[in-house]
Amino acid sequence: MVLHSSAQNRQVLFQMLQCKIPIICFNAKDFLRTLLQVYGNEISWKQVADSVVLDPRIAAWLINPSDTVPSFESLIQKYFEKPFSKGAENTDTGTLRNASYQNLGVNLEKLYNVMMDLACDLKAQSLWNLFCTLELPLIKILAVMETHKIYVNKQELKKTSEILGLRLKELEQEAHQVAGEQFLLTSSYQLREVLFDKLKLHTLCEKLHRTEIQQLVSTSEAVLNKLQDLHPLPKIILEYRQVHKMKSTYVDGLRTCMRKGFISSTWNQTGTVTGRLSAKHPNIQGISKHPVRITKKQYIKGKEEDIVTISPRTLFVSKKGCTFLAADFSHIELRILADLSSEPELLKLFQEPEITDIFSTLASQWKGIPSEEVKHADREQAKRIVYSVVYGAGKERLADCLGITPLQASQFIESFMQKYKKVHEFTKKTIEQCRNKGYVVSIMGRKRPLANINAQDYKLRTQAERQAVNFVVQGSAADLCKMAMVKIFTSVVVSSTLTARLIAQIHDELLFEVEDSQIQEFSGSLESDSHHWEIMGVYDRIAGDVKQPSGMLFSTRTPHWPVLIPH
């Protein structure tokens, strides 16, 4: 059918939203978002939630998560020998129009056939349930999220940028003064010349980490941390980098993405191999929740320096009559590791309600020292080792994080695995299964093939082994977070009163904008439902009592956003 008027277009599009027969659409999220943007005054975002869409792009990515399927052309060319049709050569207008309609029909038929083939592949690989219950509903959620405006305090943003810019100039002057010469602080080459050729700081401490290709002494954060007690310059460089990143990425980066005082991120469902979502323009997931303390010098005689605390998340402002509410999973990856490994000592952490600091208790268990004697360094070591297992970091990366040698890091990991033998067994079993099958699977059946798991090259093989363990834990965490998004979104859609909008997913944290009058109802529904959600079924034995903060798998809070909501 050919449409000749905007009224016909609108009528057909609205019918597509209401019809319960699945609509096959490549890149369905962009289609639904555009529909909301164009006809937002006539249709509600809740109506989009009722649509049924099948997206072959998502299906192809589930089958091969390393392939982002960038275009319809690339998808078609994988399934058909002939290249994608670009249109007729004839320049006659009428012929061109007929040819384009003909090509449209051919390509629509190809789209249908590809989707049917992919559906068969999904079923054959036990991915159909994941596709239907998780990834397809997520298309609509992300489309709705992209139409929501997150407002930014423009005056505060400008003021913050100026404060950070001034501090960068001060740090640059300080660095030149203590170095005895001018150099570009952002240049690793020039910094290396000053630190090691001129000041020779590498001769004053034990072996420092070197760059992988040229084997030059690194200027990484870990190396600068080791050097900062030997000379003032490394400490200045560390602060400069922190302030520079804050300004360029989190503050000025926001300004470039703003439109009339608001931002709206673009969400990518197929951007990672683990199933995690990613965002851009801006990358709201990367906006730090950790505030930075800036020393603001005073140039008036006798006036003391002022300490300014800058937190990029406070630059966002909720709409009038609304409040930001954040809900996050508590230690989700550690919980998943505990459950999948069935490690009794880790499970105990989530079964005892009196435990308030998970990583301090973990350090106490691991090192065999009383809880009151656990130091910050002990806690940090325990935390880093857990995440080196979860994220697949090797001993070199752990050594950098903790400021120790790779040998010490290796000994730390070994002693940790000795203490938590079931975790060690879990990692070995996961790697072995991957060697046999060629892929690993998350709790929801998400798969990641790892071609190098049986490689002869030691470096490639060990990297694949770390990726295998990382995927099972992180991929499962991604599954759970997506399930929460689907569950909450659905509950709001079917509610006759709730209007809460999901505006961002920051891995294990969901950010909502909620009407002030609905805060108690909405946050109450999150806390009460979290204990009964079907998605928590496999974690019954570690979920604990929902009333205890340490035992809550899902909790509501807003510690890093402008308005604080009490439990």
**23-74: pLDDT as tens digits:** 899 999 999 999 899 888 888 898 888 888 999 999 999 999 988 888 888 8
Distance CA 501, CA 311 (A): 23
- What are 480-514's pLDDT values in tens digits? 999 999 999 999 999 989 999 999 998 888 999 99
Packed helices 406-419 and 358-367: angle between N→C axes, nearest 10 degrees: 90
Tell me if residue 323 falls in helix, strand or coil: strand
pLDDT band, residue 144 (cuts 50/70/90): very high
Polymer length of the chain: 567
Homologous superfamily, domain 151-317: Taq DNA Polymerase; Chain T, domain 4 (1.20.1060.10)
Distance CA 505, CA 513 (A): 12
* 466, two tokens: 């770390």
DSSP for 431-484, please give it: HHHHHHHSEEE-TT--EEE-GGGG-SSHHHHHHHHHHHHHHHHHHHHHHHHHHH
Does the pLDDT value for residue 165 go beyond 60?
A: yes
Q: Are strands 322-329 and 509-515 parallel, antiparallel or unpaired?
A: antiparallel
pLDDT of residue 399: 78
Distance CA 57, CA 77 (A): 13
Residue, of 507 and 154, whose pLDDT is higher: 154
pLDDT band, residue 449 (cuts 50/70/90): very high
Which residue from 370, 322, 5 is spatially nearest to 149, judged by alpha carbons? 322
Which residue from 485, 500, 456, 450 is spatially nearest to 470, judged by alpha carbons? 450
* 211, two tokens: 């760059």
* 377, two tokens: 């360094």
Distance CA 389, CA 467 (A): 10
- What are 394-428's pLDDT values in tens digits? 777 787 777 677 788 888 888 888 888 999 899 99
Element (H, E) at 325: strand 322-329
CB within 8 A of 356, min separation 6: which ones? Answer: 549, 550
pLDDT of residue 33: 93
Distance CA 512, CA 489 (A): 10
Residue, of 393 and 5, whose pLDDT is higher: 393
Tell me if residue 148 falls in helix, strand or coil: coil
CATH 3.30.420 fits 6-147, yes or no: yes
| CA dist 303 → 166, 297, 306 (Å) | 18, 9, 9
Mean confidence (pLDDT) of the chain: 82
pLDDT of residue 101: 53
pLDDT of residue 301: 63
Q: What is the pTM of this model?
A: 0.84
pLDDT of residue 212: 62
Domain ranges of the chain: 6-147, 151-317, 332-557
Residue, of 292 and 463, whose pLDDT is higher: 463
pLDDT of residue 141: 97
pLDDT of residue 558: 34
| CA dist 171 → 204, 240, 298, 452 (Å) | 24, 6, 15, 45
Q: Using CA atoms of 267, 273, 274, 276 in order, give the dihedral in degrees to the nearest 10.
A: 0
Q: What percent of the chain has pLDDT over 90?
A: 46
Does the pLDDT value for residue 282 go beyond 50?
A: yes
pLDDT of residue 14: 77
Locus of tokens 């240049």 = 187
Which residue from 41, 467, 553, 511 is spatially nearest to 322, judged by alpha carbons? 511
| CA dist 447 → 64, 66, 434, 438 (Å) | 8, 11, 11, 10
| CA dist 37 → 82, 100, 149, 496 (Å) | 36, 27, 12, 23
* 166, two tokens: 């001034």
Same fold, 6-147 and 151-317: no
CB within 8 A of 195, min separation 6: which ones? Answer: 201, 202, 217, 219, 227, 233, 234
Buried b (16+ CB within 10 A) or exposed e, 77-109: eeeeeeeebeeeeeeeeeeeeebeeeeeeebee
| CA dist 536 → 61, 128, 443 (Å) | 26, 21, 11
pLDDT band, residue 94 (cuts 50/70/90): low
Distance CA 155, CA 140 (A): 34
Distance CA 337, CA 358 (A): 14
CB within 8 A of 414, min separation 6: which ones? Answer: none
The verdict on whether omega for the bond into residue 22 sits within 30 degrees of 0, i.e. cis, is no
pLDDT of residue 529: 56
Mean pLDDT calculated for residue range 308-329: 89
- What are 169-221's pLDDT values in tens digits? 999 999 999 999 999 999 999 999 999 999 988 888 777 767 666 667 788 88
Q: Are 530 and 546 in contact (CB under 8 A)?
A: yes
| Amino acid sitting at position 357 | D
Strand partners, 262: 151, 259
Q: What percent of the chain has pLDDT over 70?
A: 84
Give CA 223 to chain center in angstroms.
27
* 149, two tokens: 């405006």
Architecture of the domain defined by 332-557: Orthogonal Bundle (1.10)
Strand partners, 217: 210
* 381, two tokens: 């070591």
- What are 520-557's pLDDT values in tens digits? 899 887 766 554 333 333 333 333 322 222 233 333 33
First-to-last CA distance in the chain? 55
Mean pLDDT calculated for residue range 370-396: 82
| CA dist 440 → 222, 434, 435, 464, 539 (Å) | 32, 6, 9, 11, 20
| Amino acid sitting at position 285 | Q
- What are 236-274's pLDDT values in tens digits? 999 999 999 999 988 998 989 998 899 999 999 999 999
- What are 15-25's pLDDT values in tens digits? 777 777 888 99
Distance CA 387, CA 357 (A): 16
Distance CA 159, CA 316 (A): 14
Distance CA 336, CA 352 (A): 17
DSSP for 15-44, please give it: HHHH--S-EE-TTHHHHHHHHHHHSTTTS-
